Chain A
Amino acid sequence: MPASAKPLSPQRRRFLQDTARMAAGCAVAGSALAYLARDARALPAEALRPPGALPEEDFLAACIRCGLCVRDCPYDTLSLAELGVDGAATGTPFFTARDVPCEMCDDIPCVAACPTGALDPGLTDINDAQMGTAVLVDQENCLNFQGLRCDVCYRVCPVIDEAITLELSHNTRSGHHAIFAPTVHAEHCTGCGVCEKKCVLPEAAIKVLPIRLARGSSAEHYRKGWEEKAEKGRPLVEDLIDLPDRLPGPGTDNLATPGGFEPGYNLPGTGQ
Protein backbone atom coordinates (compact mmCIF):
# COMPACT_ATOMS: atom_id res chain seq x y z
CA MET A 1 0.00 0.00 0.00
CA PRO A 2 1.44 3.41 -0.88
CA ALA A 3 2.33 5.44 2.18
CA SER A 4 0.34 8.38 0.86
CA ALA A 5 -2.95 6.38 0.84
CA LYS A 6 -5.79 7.74 2.93
CA PRO A 7 -5.95 5.95 6.31
CA LEU A 8 -8.73 3.41 6.32
CA SER A 9 -11.76 4.31 8.34
CA PRO A 10 -11.76 2.70 11.78
CA GLN A 11 -15.52 2.17 11.52
CA ARG A 12 -15.06 0.20 8.35
CA ARG A 13 -12.34 -1.84 9.98
CA ARG A 14 -14.58 -2.46 12.98
CA PHE A 15 -17.50 -3.43 10.78
CA LEU A 16 -15.42 -5.88 8.78
CA GLN A 17 -13.98 -7.42 11.94
CA ASP A 18 -17.40 -7.82 13.55
CA THR A 19 -18.85 -9.29 10.39
CA ALA A 20 -16.02 -11.77 10.04
CA ARG A 21 -16.43 -12.73 13.68
CA MET A 22 -20.17 -13.30 13.36
CA ALA A 23 -19.82 -15.16 10.08
CA ALA A 24 -17.17 -17.44 11.54
CA GLY A 25 -19.19 -18.08 14.69
CA CYS A 26 -22.28 -18.84 12.65
CA ALA A 27 -20.32 -21.14 10.36
CA VAL A 28 -19.23 -23.16 13.40
CA ALA A 29 -22.70 -23.19 14.97
CA GLY A 30 -24.31 -23.89 11.62
CA SER A 31 -22.00 -26.82 10.93
CA ALA A 32 -22.82 -28.33 14.31
CA LEU A 33 -26.52 -27.89 13.63
CA ALA A 34 -26.18 -29.32 10.13
CA TYR A 35 -24.36 -32.32 11.58
CA LEU A 36 -27.20 -32.90 14.03
CA ALA A 37 -29.76 -32.42 11.25
CA ARG A 38 -28.03 -35.02 9.06
CA ASP A 39 -27.70 -37.32 12.02
CA ALA A 40 -31.41 -37.02 12.78
CA ARG A 41 -32.18 -38.71 9.46
CA ALA A 42 -30.85 -42.04 10.69
CA LEU A 43 -34.18 -43.50 11.70
CA PRO A 44 -33.69 -46.74 13.66
CA ALA A 45 -35.03 -49.80 11.84
CA GLU A 46 -37.58 -50.62 14.55
CA ALA A 47 -39.02 -47.08 14.62
CA LEU A 48 -41.89 -46.98 12.14
CA ARG A 49 -43.51 -43.78 10.92
CA PRO A 50 -47.32 -43.35 11.00
CA PRO A 51 -49.36 -44.23 7.89
CA GLY A 52 -48.94 -41.83 4.99
CA ALA A 53 -45.62 -40.48 6.30
CA LEU A 54 -43.56 -38.90 3.53
CA PRO A 55 -40.17 -40.47 2.78
CA GLU A 56 -37.87 -39.71 5.72
CA GLU A 57 -35.92 -36.86 4.08
CA ASP A 58 -39.16 -35.09 3.10
CA PHE A 59 -40.77 -35.95 6.41
CA LEU A 60 -38.14 -34.04 8.38
CA ALA A 61 -38.83 -30.94 6.28
CA ALA A 62 -42.56 -31.26 6.83
CA CYS A 63 -43.14 -32.52 10.38
CA ILE A 64 -43.36 -29.67 12.88
CA ARG A 65 -43.40 -32.08 15.85
CA CYS A 66 -46.75 -30.84 17.16
CA GLY A 67 -47.95 -34.26 18.29
CA LEU A 68 -51.49 -33.91 16.92
CA CYS A 69 -51.25 -37.33 15.21
CA VAL A 70 -50.26 -38.84 18.56
CA ARG A 71 -53.27 -37.25 20.25
CA ASP A 72 -55.73 -38.49 17.66
CA CYS A 73 -54.45 -42.08 17.57
CA PRO A 74 -57.22 -44.03 19.35
CA TYR A 75 -54.92 -46.94 20.27
CA ASP A 76 -52.02 -44.90 21.72
CA THR A 77 -49.82 -46.49 19.10
CA LEU A 78 -47.83 -43.36 18.32
CA SER A 79 -45.45 -41.47 20.54
CA LEU A 80 -43.08 -38.54 20.04
CA ALA A 81 -39.38 -39.31 20.10
CA GLU A 82 -37.67 -38.04 23.23
CA LEU A 83 -34.18 -36.59 23.13
CA GLY A 84 -31.55 -39.21 23.87
CA VAL A 85 -34.14 -41.91 24.61
CA ASP A 86 -35.64 -42.81 21.24
CA GLY A 87 -33.50 -42.88 18.15
CA ALA A 88 -35.87 -40.99 15.85
CA ALA A 89 -35.43 -37.22 15.35
CA THR A 90 -36.48 -35.43 18.54
CA GLY A 91 -40.19 -34.76 18.72
CA THR A 92 -41.18 -36.72 15.63
CA PRO A 93 -43.92 -39.39 15.80
CA PHE A 94 -43.12 -43.08 15.53
CA PHE A 95 -44.26 -46.47 16.75
CA THR A 96 -42.61 -49.75 17.61
CA ALA A 97 -44.56 -52.67 16.16
CA ARG A 98 -43.59 -55.16 18.87
CA ASP A 99 -44.92 -52.73 21.54
CA VAL A 100 -48.09 -51.35 19.97
CA PRO A 101 -48.78 -52.00 16.29
CA CYS A 102 -50.91 -49.81 14.03
CA GLU A 103 -54.55 -50.93 14.08
CA MET A 104 -55.20 -49.55 10.58
CA CYS A 105 -58.24 -47.36 11.35
CA ASP A 106 -60.53 -46.91 8.34
CA ASP A 107 -60.70 -43.12 8.82
CA ILE A 108 -56.93 -42.79 9.41
CA PRO A 109 -57.27 -40.13 12.19
CA CYS A 110 -53.52 -39.51 12.44
CA VAL A 111 -53.37 -38.41 8.82
CA ALA A 112 -56.48 -36.26 9.25
CA ALA A 113 -54.88 -34.56 12.26
CA CYS A 114 -51.61 -33.63 10.54
CA PRO A 115 -51.65 -29.87 9.82
CA THR A 116 -48.66 -29.83 7.47
CA GLY A 117 -49.07 -32.85 5.22
CA ALA A 118 -46.07 -34.64 6.70
CA LEU A 119 -48.60 -37.47 6.82
CA ASP A 120 -49.84 -37.36 3.24
CA PRO A 121 -53.59 -36.53 3.07
CA GLY A 122 -53.58 -38.33 -0.29
CA LEU A 123 -53.69 -41.58 1.66
CA THR A 124 -57.42 -42.27 1.87
CA ASP A 125 -57.42 -46.07 1.93
CA ILE A 126 -55.45 -47.46 4.86
CA ASN A 127 -54.76 -50.60 2.81
CA ASP A 128 -52.50 -48.45 0.62
CA ALA A 129 -50.32 -47.48 3.60
CA GLN A 130 -46.67 -48.45 3.45
CA MET A 131 -45.28 -48.00 6.95
CA GLY A 132 -42.81 -50.80 6.31
CA THR A 133 -42.83 -54.37 5.05
CA ALA A 134 -43.11 -57.51 7.13
CA VAL A 135 -40.23 -59.92 6.63
CA LEU A 136 -40.00 -63.43 8.00
CA VAL A 137 -36.51 -62.84 9.27
CA ASP A 138 -35.90 -66.10 11.08
CA GLN A 139 -36.98 -69.28 9.29
CA GLU A 140 -34.92 -71.37 11.68
CA ASN A 141 -37.09 -70.42 14.64
CA CYS A 142 -40.44 -69.87 12.91
CA LEU A 143 -42.71 -72.67 14.12
CA ASN A 144 -44.43 -73.05 10.77
CA PHE A 145 -41.10 -73.57 9.05
CA GLN A 146 -40.45 -76.45 11.42
CA GLY A 147 -43.58 -78.12 10.18
CA LEU A 148 -45.79 -77.04 13.10
CA ARG A 149 -49.08 -75.24 12.64
CA CYS A 150 -48.68 -71.96 14.48
CA ASP A 151 -50.13 -69.75 11.71
CA VAL A 152 -50.58 -66.83 14.14
CA CYS A 153 -48.99 -64.15 11.92
CA TYR A 154 -51.17 -65.31 9.04
CA ARG A 155 -54.36 -65.37 11.12
CA VAL A 156 -53.92 -61.92 12.70
CA CYS A 157 -52.91 -60.14 9.50
CA PRO A 158 -55.53 -57.47 8.72
CA VAL A 159 -54.90 -58.17 5.03
CA ILE A 160 -55.03 -61.97 5.44
CA ASP A 161 -54.51 -64.08 2.30
CA GLU A 162 -53.16 -61.07 0.47
CA ALA A 163 -50.30 -59.67 2.54
CA ILE A 164 -49.49 -63.04 4.13
CA THR A 165 -50.30 -66.40 2.59
CA LEU A 166 -49.36 -69.88 3.70
CA GLU A 167 -47.38 -71.62 0.97
CA LEU A 168 -47.51 -75.38 1.06
CA SER A 169 -44.44 -77.54 0.58
CA HIS A 170 -43.26 -81.04 1.40
CA ASN A 171 -41.79 -81.62 4.85
CA THR A 172 -38.64 -83.53 4.07
CA ARG A 173 -37.84 -84.07 7.75
CA SER A 174 -40.86 -86.22 8.51
CA GLY A 175 -41.33 -87.31 4.94
CA HIS A 176 -45.12 -87.30 5.09
CA HIS A 177 -46.14 -83.90 6.46
CA ALA A 178 -46.50 -80.44 4.98
CA ILE A 179 -44.80 -77.14 5.74
CA PHE A 180 -47.10 -74.11 5.66
CA ALA A 181 -44.62 -71.33 5.09
CA PRO A 182 -45.92 -67.84 6.00
CA THR A 183 -45.09 -65.77 2.94
CA VAL A 184 -45.31 -61.97 2.78
CA HIS A 185 -46.45 -60.31 -0.41
CA ALA A 186 -44.96 -56.85 -0.15
CA GLU A 187 -47.36 -55.07 -2.48
CA HIS A 188 -50.23 -55.84 -0.10
CA CYS A 189 -48.36 -55.43 3.21
CA THR A 190 -49.05 -52.10 4.95
CA GLY A 191 -46.37 -52.58 7.60
CA CYS A 192 -48.90 -52.29 10.41
CA GLY A 193 -46.86 -54.67 12.55
CA VAL A 194 -49.67 -56.83 13.96
CA CYS A 195 -47.85 -59.99 12.81
CA GLU A 196 -44.69 -58.92 14.63
CA LYS A 197 -46.67 -57.99 17.74
CA LYS A 198 -48.50 -61.33 17.85
CA CYS A 199 -45.62 -63.66 16.97
CA VAL A 200 -45.63 -66.20 19.81
CA LEU A 201 -41.85 -66.49 20.06
CA PRO A 202 -39.94 -64.58 22.75
CA GLU A 203 -38.31 -62.61 19.92
CA ALA A 204 -40.50 -62.27 16.86
CA ALA A 205 -39.51 -64.36 13.84
CA ILE A 206 -41.46 -62.01 11.59
CA LYS A 207 -40.59 -58.32 11.79
CA VAL A 208 -41.68 -55.16 10.07
CA LEU A 209 -38.67 -53.46 8.55
CA PRO A 210 -38.43 -50.11 6.79
CA ILE A 211 -38.96 -50.69 3.10
CA ARG A 212 -35.38 -49.61 2.37
CA LEU A 213 -34.18 -52.60 4.43
CA ALA A 214 -36.94 -55.04 3.63
CA ARG A 215 -36.90 -54.93 -0.12
CA GLY A 216 -34.62 -55.30 -3.05
CA SER A 217 -35.57 -53.86 -6.39
CA SER A 218 -35.76 -55.20 -9.90
CA ALA A 219 -33.46 -53.59 -12.43
CA GLU A 220 -35.28 -51.16 -14.72
CA HIS A 221 -34.23 -52.90 -17.93
CA TYR A 222 -35.17 -56.45 -16.94
CA ARG A 223 -37.89 -57.98 -19.10
CA LYS A 224 -39.37 -61.32 -18.18
CA GLY A 225 -39.71 -63.31 -21.38
CA TRP A 226 -42.78 -65.22 -20.25
CA GLU A 227 -44.60 -62.04 -19.31
CA GLU A 228 -43.69 -60.22 -22.51
CA LYS A 229 -44.69 -63.26 -24.55
CA ALA A 230 -48.04 -63.53 -22.77
CA GLU A 231 -48.67 -59.83 -23.35
CA LYS A 232 -47.79 -60.05 -27.04
CA GLY A 233 -49.52 -63.35 -27.60
CA ARG A 234 -46.61 -64.76 -29.65
CA PRO A 235 -42.84 -65.06 -29.38
CA LEU A 236 -41.04 -61.73 -29.02
CA VAL A 237 -38.61 -62.51 -31.81
CA GLU A 238 -39.99 -64.32 -34.84
CA ASP A 239 -38.20 -67.10 -36.75
CA LEU A 240 -35.82 -68.09 -33.99
CA ILE A 241 -33.61 -70.98 -34.98
CA ASP A 242 -34.51 -73.92 -32.79
CA LEU A 243 -31.09 -74.98 -31.57
CA PRO A 244 -30.62 -78.60 -30.55
CA ASP A 245 -31.30 -79.29 -26.90
CA ARG A 246 -28.53 -80.83 -24.92
CA LEU A 247 -29.57 -84.35 -24.36
CA PRO A 248 -27.85 -86.83 -22.11
CA GLY A 249 -25.73 -89.33 -23.87
CA PRO A 250 -22.38 -90.01 -25.47
CA GLY A 251 -20.86 -87.18 -27.32
CA THR A 252 -22.25 -84.58 -24.97
CA ASP A 253 -20.82 -83.07 -21.82
CA ASN A 254 -23.81 -84.07 -19.74
CA LEU A 255 -22.43 -86.03 -16.84
CA ALA A 256 -25.69 -86.18 -14.89
CA THR A 257 -27.06 -89.05 -16.88
CA PRO A 258 -24.14 -90.66 -18.60
CA GLY A 259 -24.88 -93.32 -21.09
CA GLY A 260 -28.18 -91.88 -22.10
CA PHE A 261 -29.59 -92.08 -25.50
CA GLU A 262 -27.77 -91.11 -28.62
CA PRO A 263 -28.78 -87.98 -30.44
CA GLY A 264 -30.46 -88.37 -33.77
CA TYR A 265 -27.79 -86.25 -35.39
CA ASN A 266 -24.04 -85.94 -35.21
CA LEU A 267 -22.57 -82.74 -34.00
CA PRO A 268 -19.57 -81.82 -36.13
CA GLY A 269 -16.28 -82.80 -34.56
CA THR A 270 -17.73 -85.01 -31.85
CA GLY A 271 -18.14 -88.29 -33.72
CA GLN A 272 -14.74 -89.86 -33.03
Chain B
Amino acid sequence: MSTASKAMAGREAIAVKGWLQAHKWLLLRRASQTFFLLIFLLGPWFGLWLVKGTLAGSLTLGVLPLTDPFVTLQGLVAGHIPETTALIGALIVLAVYALIGGRVYCSWVCPINPVTDTAHWLHRRLGLAKGWQPKRSTRLWLMGTVLVVSALTGTIAWEIVNPITLLHRGLVFGIGFGWALVLGIFVFDLFVARHGWCGRLCPVGAFYGLLGQRSLLRVTARDRVACDDCMDCFAVCPENHVITPALRGKGSDTPLILSPDCTNCGRCIDVCSVDVFAFTHRFDTNVSEAPATPADTRAA
Protein backbone atom coordinates (compact mmCIF):
# COMPACT_ATOMS: atom_id res chain seq x y z
CA MET B 1 0.00 0.00 0.00
CA SER B 2 1.44 3.35 -0.95
CA THR B 3 1.85 6.22 1.44
CA ALA B 4 -0.64 8.22 -0.59
CA SER B 5 -3.39 5.63 -0.30
CA LYS B 6 -2.73 5.32 3.43
CA ALA B 7 -3.27 9.05 3.85
CA MET B 8 -6.46 8.75 1.84
CA ALA B 9 -7.83 5.83 3.88
CA GLY B 10 -11.58 6.13 4.23
CA ARG B 11 -12.16 8.33 1.15
CA GLU B 12 -14.03 5.60 -0.65
CA ALA B 13 -16.25 4.92 2.35
CA ILE B 14 -17.10 8.62 2.56
CA ALA B 15 -17.99 8.64 -1.15
CA VAL B 16 -20.19 5.55 -0.84
CA LYS B 17 -21.75 5.93 2.61
CA GLY B 18 -21.54 9.66 3.23
CA TRP B 19 -19.23 11.44 5.70
CA LEU B 20 -21.41 10.83 8.73
CA GLN B 21 -21.79 7.07 8.19
CA ALA B 22 -18.08 6.79 7.45
CA HIS B 23 -17.30 8.41 10.81
CA LYS B 24 -20.12 6.96 12.88
CA TRP B 25 -18.07 4.92 15.36
CA LEU B 26 -15.30 7.50 15.49
CA LEU B 27 -17.80 10.20 16.41
CA LEU B 28 -19.47 7.95 18.98
CA ARG B 29 -16.07 7.15 20.43
CA ARG B 30 -15.09 10.80 20.68
CA ALA B 31 -18.46 11.47 22.29
CA SER B 32 -17.80 8.69 24.78
CA GLN B 33 -14.31 10.00 25.59
CA THR B 34 -15.72 13.50 26.02
CA PHE B 35 -18.50 12.13 28.20
CA PHE B 36 -16.11 10.30 30.54
CA LEU B 37 -14.06 13.47 30.89
CA LEU B 38 -16.97 15.90 31.23
CA ILE B 39 -18.80 13.83 33.81
CA PHE B 40 -15.76 14.22 36.06
CA LEU B 41 -15.53 17.92 35.25
CA LEU B 42 -19.19 18.75 36.00
CA GLY B 43 -18.34 18.87 39.70
CA PRO B 44 -15.31 21.13 39.73
CA TRP B 45 -16.64 23.33 36.90
CA PHE B 46 -20.35 23.61 37.63
CA GLY B 47 -20.74 22.23 41.14
CA LEU B 48 -22.75 19.29 39.80
CA TRP B 49 -21.27 16.36 41.68
CA LEU B 50 -22.58 13.34 39.76
CA VAL B 51 -19.15 11.76 39.84
CA LYS B 52 -16.31 12.48 42.23
CA GLY B 53 -12.72 11.35 41.87
CA THR B 54 -10.66 10.28 38.86
CA LEU B 55 -10.28 7.26 36.60
CA ALA B 56 -8.13 5.64 39.29
CA GLY B 57 -11.04 5.65 41.71
CA SER B 58 -14.40 7.35 41.73
CA LEU B 59 -17.76 7.54 43.41
CA THR B 60 -20.87 8.00 41.24
CA LEU B 61 -24.01 9.54 42.70
CA GLY B 62 -22.67 8.83 46.16
CA VAL B 63 -23.28 5.07 45.84
CA LEU B 64 -21.36 3.46 42.98
CA PRO B 65 -17.65 2.99 43.71
CA LEU B 66 -15.38 2.29 40.74
CA THR B 67 -11.69 1.52 41.06
CA ASP B 68 -9.08 0.85 38.41
CA PRO B 69 -8.27 -2.86 38.81
CA PHE B 70 -4.67 -2.45 37.63
CA VAL B 71 -4.04 0.21 40.28
CA THR B 72 -5.70 -2.05 42.86
CA LEU B 73 -3.52 -4.97 41.77
CA GLN B 74 -0.37 -2.88 42.16
CA GLY B 75 -1.52 -1.86 45.63
CA LEU B 76 -2.09 -5.51 46.52
CA VAL B 77 1.37 -6.63 45.41
CA ALA B 78 2.82 -3.60 47.18
CA GLY B 79 1.42 -5.08 50.36
CA HIS B 80 -1.74 -3.12 51.10
CA ILE B 81 -5.09 -4.90 51.34
CA PRO B 82 -7.59 -2.17 50.44
CA GLU B 83 -10.89 -1.51 52.15
CA THR B 84 -13.99 -3.22 50.77
CA THR B 85 -15.12 -0.10 48.88
CA ALA B 86 -12.07 -0.16 46.63
CA LEU B 87 -12.29 -3.93 46.15
CA ILE B 88 -15.96 -3.78 45.15
CA GLY B 89 -15.16 -0.92 42.78
CA ALA B 90 -12.38 -2.93 41.17
CA LEU B 91 -14.58 -6.01 40.82
CA ILE B 92 -17.33 -4.02 39.09
CA VAL B 93 -14.82 -2.59 36.61
CA LEU B 94 -13.27 -6.04 36.10
CA ALA B 95 -16.67 -7.59 35.37
CA VAL B 96 -17.76 -4.88 32.93
CA TYR B 97 -14.57 -4.96 30.87
CA ALA B 98 -14.37 -8.75 30.95
CA LEU B 99 -17.78 -8.65 29.31
CA ILE B 100 -17.42 -5.86 26.74
CA GLY B 101 -13.72 -6.23 25.98
CA GLY B 102 -10.87 -5.01 28.14
CA ARG B 103 -9.44 -2.68 25.60
CA VAL B 104 -12.75 -0.91 25.18
CA TYR B 105 -11.25 1.11 28.02
CA CYS B 106 -8.39 2.10 25.69
CA SER B 107 -10.50 3.32 22.81
CA TRP B 108 -13.68 4.56 24.48
CA VAL B 109 -12.57 5.93 27.86
CA CYS B 110 -8.82 6.56 28.08
CA PRO B 111 -7.97 10.27 27.69
CA ILE B 112 -4.60 9.43 26.11
CA ASN B 113 -6.36 7.80 23.16
CA PRO B 114 -7.29 11.11 21.43
CA VAL B 115 -3.65 12.16 21.87
CA THR B 116 -2.22 9.06 20.21
CA ASP B 117 -5.03 8.99 17.63
CA THR B 118 -4.13 12.53 16.62
CA ALA B 119 -0.47 11.57 16.45
CA HIS B 120 -1.38 8.63 14.20
CA TRP B 121 -3.62 10.78 12.00
CA LEU B 122 -0.81 13.28 11.53
CA HIS B 123 1.64 10.44 11.04
CA ARG B 124 -0.44 9.14 8.14
CA ARG B 125 -0.97 12.60 6.69
CA LEU B 126 2.75 13.35 6.74
CA GLY B 127 3.52 9.94 5.29
CA LEU B 128 6.12 9.20 7.95
CA ALA B 129 7.92 5.88 8.26
CA LYS B 130 6.65 3.57 10.95
CA GLY B 131 9.91 3.96 12.85
CA TRP B 132 10.97 1.90 15.84
CA GLN B 133 8.58 -1.01 16.29
CA PRO B 134 9.21 -2.94 19.47
CA LYS B 135 7.32 -6.20 19.75
CA ARG B 136 3.71 -5.96 20.84
CA SER B 137 4.54 -8.24 23.73
CA THR B 138 6.72 -5.47 25.17
CA ARG B 139 3.72 -4.06 26.99
CA LEU B 140 3.16 -7.41 28.72
CA TRP B 141 6.77 -7.43 29.82
CA LEU B 142 6.38 -3.87 31.05
CA MET B 143 3.22 -4.83 32.90
CA GLY B 144 5.14 -7.59 34.66
CA THR B 145 7.96 -5.15 35.40
CA VAL B 146 5.50 -2.66 36.92
CA LEU B 147 4.14 -5.34 39.22
CA VAL B 148 7.64 -6.43 40.25
CA VAL B 149 8.67 -2.83 40.94
CA SER B 150 5.46 -2.28 42.93
CA ALA B 151 6.22 -5.32 45.05
CA LEU B 152 9.88 -4.41 45.57
CA THR B 153 9.35 -0.75 46.42
CA GLY B 154 6.04 -1.19 48.22
CA THR B 155 4.44 1.55 46.16
CA ILE B 156 1.78 1.73 43.45
CA ALA B 157 4.65 2.21 41.05
CA TRP B 158 2.99 2.91 37.71
CA GLU B 159 0.84 5.69 39.16
CA ILE B 160 3.99 7.76 39.60
CA VAL B 161 4.25 8.12 35.82
CA ASN B 162 0.99 6.73 34.39
CA PRO B 163 0.08 9.28 31.70
CA ILE B 164 -3.56 8.15 31.64
CA THR B 165 -4.44 9.01 35.21
CA LEU B 166 -1.96 11.87 35.13
CA LEU B 167 -3.81 13.54 32.26
CA HIS B 168 -7.25 12.74 33.60
CA ARG B 169 -6.41 13.82 37.13
CA GLY B 170 -4.60 16.80 35.65
CA LEU B 171 -7.69 17.99 33.81
CA VAL B 172 -9.92 17.44 36.84
CA PHE B 173 -7.56 18.65 39.60
CA GLY B 174 -4.65 20.54 38.01
CA ILE B 175 -1.86 19.13 35.90
CA GLY B 176 1.46 20.71 36.91
CA PHE B 177 4.11 19.61 34.44
CA GLY B 178 2.10 16.52 33.53
CA TRP B 179 1.35 18.02 30.14
CA ALA B 180 5.02 17.54 29.24
CA LEU B 181 4.59 13.79 29.66
CA VAL B 182 1.49 13.85 27.44
CA LEU B 183 3.31 15.90 24.83
CA GLY B 184 6.14 13.40 25.08
CA ILE B 185 3.80 10.57 24.17
CA PHE B 186 2.41 12.56 21.23
CA VAL B 187 5.89 13.22 19.87
CA PHE B 188 6.95 9.61 20.52
CA ASP B 189 3.98 8.26 18.56
CA LEU B 190 4.40 10.78 15.78
CA PHE B 191 8.13 10.61 15.15
CA VAL B 192 9.63 7.66 17.00
CA ALA B 193 7.20 4.77 16.80
CA ARG B 194 3.89 4.50 14.99
CA HIS B 195 1.26 3.28 17.47
CA GLY B 196 4.23 3.06 19.81
CA TRP B 197 2.62 3.96 23.11
CA CYS B 198 -0.83 2.34 23.06
CA GLY B 199 0.12 -0.47 20.72
CA ARG B 200 3.39 -1.58 22.21
CA LEU B 201 4.36 -0.07 25.53
CA CYS B 202 1.42 0.89 27.73
CA PRO B 203 1.18 -1.65 30.59
CA VAL B 204 -2.35 -0.51 31.42
CA GLY B 205 -3.48 -1.49 27.92
CA ALA B 206 -1.70 -4.81 28.36
CA PHE B 207 -3.62 -5.43 31.58
CA TYR B 208 -6.96 -4.55 30.03
CA GLY B 209 -6.10 -6.71 27.02
CA LEU B 210 -5.60 -9.72 29.27
CA LEU B 211 -8.81 -8.85 31.07
CA GLY B 212 -10.87 -8.94 27.88
CA GLN B 213 -9.57 -12.20 26.47
CA ARG B 214 -12.94 -13.95 26.66
CA SER B 215 -15.13 -10.90 26.24
CA LEU B 216 -18.50 -11.07 24.52
CA LEU B 217 -18.48 -7.95 22.37
CA ARG B 218 -16.57 -8.57 19.16
CA VAL B 219 -16.11 -7.18 15.69
CA THR B 220 -16.88 -9.67 12.93
CA ALA B 221 -15.69 -9.63 9.31
CA ARG B 222 -18.99 -11.25 8.38
CA ASP B 223 -19.07 -9.99 4.80
CA ARG B 224 -15.43 -10.78 4.13
CA VAL B 225 -16.31 -12.16 0.70
CA ALA B 226 -17.20 -8.58 -0.28
CA CYS B 227 -13.71 -7.32 0.63
CA ASP B 228 -12.10 -5.52 -2.29
CA ASP B 229 -8.64 -5.42 -0.70
CA CYS B 230 -8.54 -1.63 -0.42
CA MET B 231 -6.58 -2.03 2.84
CA ASP B 232 -8.24 0.99 4.43
CA CYS B 233 -9.06 -1.01 7.57
CA PHE B 234 -5.39 -1.96 7.94
CA ALA B 235 -4.40 1.69 7.54
CA VAL B 236 -6.66 2.97 10.32
CA CYS B 237 -6.60 0.03 12.75
CA PRO B 238 -4.36 0.72 15.75
CA GLU B 239 -3.70 -3.01 16.15
CA ASN B 240 -4.00 -4.11 12.54
CA HIS B 241 -2.53 -7.59 13.08
CA VAL B 242 -5.88 -8.53 14.64
CA ILE B 243 -7.76 -8.10 11.35
CA THR B 244 -5.91 -10.63 9.23
CA PRO B 245 -7.15 -13.93 10.72
CA ALA B 246 -10.77 -12.80 10.52
CA LEU B 247 -10.73 -11.02 7.19
CA ARG B 248 -8.43 -13.38 5.33
CA GLY B 249 -10.03 -16.51 6.81
CA LYS B 250 -11.57 -18.97 4.36
CA GLY B 251 -14.59 -21.22 4.62
CA SER B 252 -15.31 -22.18 8.18
CA ASP B 253 -12.55 -19.99 9.72
CA THR B 254 -14.15 -17.71 12.28
CA PRO B 255 -14.95 -14.25 10.96
CA LEU B 256 -14.65 -12.88 14.53
CA ILE B 257 -11.74 -10.72 15.57
CA LEU B 258 -10.86 -12.69 18.66
CA SER B 259 -7.49 -11.14 19.50
CA PRO B 260 -7.49 -9.49 22.94
CA ASP B 261 -5.49 -6.68 21.34
CA CYS B 262 -8.57 -5.43 19.44
CA THR B 263 -9.83 -2.27 21.12
CA ASN B 264 -13.36 -2.48 19.70
CA CYS B 265 -12.92 1.03 18.37
CA GLY B 266 -15.05 0.27 15.32
CA ARG B 267 -12.94 2.37 12.97
CA CYS B 268 -12.67 -0.59 10.55
CA ILE B 269 -16.48 -0.59 10.30
CA ASP B 270 -16.40 3.13 9.47
CA VAL B 271 -13.80 3.07 6.73
CA CYS B 272 -15.05 -0.02 4.91
CA SER B 273 -16.95 1.06 1.82
CA VAL B 274 -18.44 -2.42 1.35
CA ASP B 275 -19.43 -2.92 5.01
CA VAL B 276 -17.44 -6.06 5.71
CA PHE B 277 -17.31 -5.45 9.44
CA ALA B 278 -19.97 -5.22 12.15
CA PHE B 279 -20.19 -5.40 15.95
CA THR B 280 -21.56 -8.67 17.26
CA HIS B 281 -21.06 -11.15 20.11
CA ARG B 282 -18.43 -13.88 20.27
CA PHE B 283 -20.86 -16.73 19.54
CA ASP B 284 -22.03 -15.23 16.26
CA THR B 285 -19.87 -17.01 13.72
CA ASN B 286 -22.14 -16.39 10.73
CA VAL B 287 -20.32 -15.66 7.50
CA SER B 288 -21.95 -14.38 4.33
CA GLU B 289 -21.71 -17.05 1.64
CA ALA B 290 -21.50 -14.80 -1.39
CA PRO B 291 -21.21 -11.08 -2.06
CA ALA B 292 -24.45 -9.59 -0.78
CA THR B 293 -25.51 -7.57 -3.78
CA PRO B 294 -29.00 -6.13 -4.14
CA ALA B 295 -29.53 -8.42 -7.12
CA ASP B 296 -28.78 -11.46 -5.01
CA THR B 297 -32.24 -12.48 -3.76
CA ARG B 298 -31.34 -16.07 -2.90
CA ALA B 299 -29.75 -14.97 0.35
CA ALA B 300 -30.92 -16.66 3.53
Contact = CB atoms under 8 A, between A and B. Distances in A.
Pick the most buried of A25, A41, A63: most chain B CB atoms within 10 A of its CB. Answer: A63
A89 B158 CA distance: 12
Contacts of B89: 115
B169 A115 contact: no
B53 A66 contact: yes
Contacts of A57: 154
A185 interface: no
Nearest to B176: A82
Given A38-B153, A61-B155, A68 B59 contact: yes
For chain B, the bracket of interface size reads 35 or more
A83 B43 CA distance: 22
Interface string A72-114: 1000000111111110011100000000000000000000011
A36 interface: yes
Interface stretch (A27-35, A164-172, A234-242): A27-35
A88 B194 CA distance: 34
B135 interface: yes
Contacts, number: 169
Interface in B132-179: 134-135, 137-138, 141-142, 144-146, 148-150, 152-161, 165-166, 169-170, 172-178
A64 interface: yes
B149 A79 contact: no
Interface string B48-67: 01001110111100000101
Interface string A156-188: 000000000000000000000000000000000
A144 B70 CA distance: 54
B150 to A, nearest CB: 8
Contacts of A66: 53-54, 56-58, 67
Contact of B155 (A40, A67, A84): A40
A29 B177 contact: no
Interface in A191-233: none
Given A22-B135, A80-B173, A86-B176, A30 B72 contact: no
B135 A18 contact: yes
Interface in B212-260: none
Contact of A85 (B43, B160, B177): B177
Given A64-B56, A83-B166, A37 B153 contact: yes
Contact of B54 (A65, A72, A113): A65
A34 B174 contact: no
Nearest to B88: A115
Nearest to A91: B169
Contacts of B56: 64-66, 91
Given A64-B71, A82-B174, A26 B160 contact: no
Contact of A80 (B71, B149, B169): B169
Given A33-B157, A71-B53, A58 B80 contact: yes
Interface of A: 18, 22-23, 25-26, 29-30, 33-34, 36-38, 40-41, 57-58, 60-68, 70-72, 79-86, 89-91, 113-118, 121
Interface of B: 43, 49, 52-54, 56-59, 65, 67-68, 71-72, 75, 78-80, 82-83, 85-86, 89, 134-135, 137-138, 141-142, 144-146, 148-150, 152-161, 165-166, 169-170, 172-178, 180-181
26 contacts: A23-B141, A30-B145, A33-B145, A33-B149, A33-B157, A33-B158, A34-B152, A34-B157, A37-B150, A58-B80, A62-B80, A66-B54, A67-B52, A68-B52, A68-B58, A70-B173, A71-B49, A71-B52, A82-B175, A84-B177, A85-B176, A91-B159, A115-B67, A115-B83, A116-B75, A116-B80
